[in-house]
Amino acid sequence: MLFNLPQDTLVYSTSLGLQVCADSRVILNALPEASIDLIVTSPPFALLRQKSYGNEDQADYVAWLVEFGRAAHRPLKPTGSFVLDLGGAYQRGRPVRSLYNFRVLIEFCDAIGYHLAEEFFWFNPAKLPSPIEWVNKRKIRAKDAVNTVWWFSKTDAPKADVTRVLAPYSARMKTLLKDPEAFYTPKERPSGHDIAKAFGKDNGGAIPSNLLQIPNTESNSHYLRICKALARDGHPARFPADLPRFFIKFLTDPGDLVVDIFSGSNTTGYAAEQSDRKWLSIESDRSYAAMSSIRFMEDCDESQIKELLRRIEGNEPIRIYSSSLPLQPSQSDSQHPSPDAGRPTSQQMLF
């Protein structure tokens, strides 16, 4: 599949993906119909305080985010999914929760036509107590440690295979599997479920629940270590790679296209590359988009990374190969037309 994207949006590419800097509504409208297998993203939340990465006022947030959901509907395949991570918030000056994330859910389904395939909850045990006023100071609320993650689909039957994301068995289950008949007597439970001998079959893991316990502890990652070494600011609102990785494995096959429409530090693209999926990441802030290239330079030394960043921030779209070692850009990436030749207007990317 051939994508035509404006040349001035290109930031960098890898063997499997492309990072662009643009309004994702524009890019989504430029993509072919039914071309995306999975969108997994975490937009700026509707917080009361303005953040450095940009976030909409609570009053306007739902209408703003619905625009992106509507733009994503056409290029999403009938078998595709849209996974949306949303954090909760309080109303201004009151210890009362905002309903914005639930209003987003209703609008996506009623106004755009998505289906809610399932709701997930991301529990981050490492999250700091917040909000400060109600939790730390007045101590009248528990800390907010769970995000809602809406799994939307275009049809009743999106692509999905839970056997790809099985959870490790508990110690008790491992004991049962060693000798099922000695450990457990088949019987009918009060709920009516008939627990038979087949319950003792080793399926390679347990079916995961929709509560995903994933700590957001990236403090020693390559990305943050290099940001610190270069005295550069990393993106302040990153989710852990295990979160998009879970949905990438669950909802796509190798070679499928994964898109993040608010890519930030490009955790989603990085997880997709590691999972052998093609990816397209879209970020409106060019500095964040450029710095996200560090994720793919794990085999580079600091001087190489500095040079690559200099070129990227000089608006030269470079190619970073899967080995993480930089090679020369392809001809279409590296050509510098003469002044009278005109700047290329689009970049073709084959998926």
Verify whether residue 85 is a known catalytic residue: yes
Buried residues in 208-223 as b, exposed as e (16+ CB within 10 A):
eeeebebebebeebbb
Structure tokens at 227: 């940001």
Burial group, residue 132, by CB count within 10 angstroms (0-12, 13-18, 19+): exposed
DSSP 186-237: -EE-TTS-EE-GGGG---SSBPP-SEEE-----TTSHHHHHHHHTT-PPPSS
Structure tokens at 250: 């669950």
Burial group, residue 241, by CB count within 10 angstroms (0-12, 13-18, 19+): buried
For residue 276, the one-letter residue type is: D
Catalytic site residue from 13, 24, 35, 42: 42
Closest by CA to 149, choosing from 57, 42, 77, 239, is: 42
Verify whether residue 301 is a known catalytic residue: no
Axis crossing angle, helix 58-73 with helix 100-107, rounded to the nearest 10: 30
Closest by CA to 300, choosing from 324, 321, 317, 316, is: 324
Catalytic site residue from 85, 144, 256, 260: 85
Closest by CA to 76, choosing from 122, 123, 41, is: 41
Catalytic site residue from 24, 43, 75, 240: 43
Active site residues: 42-43, 85
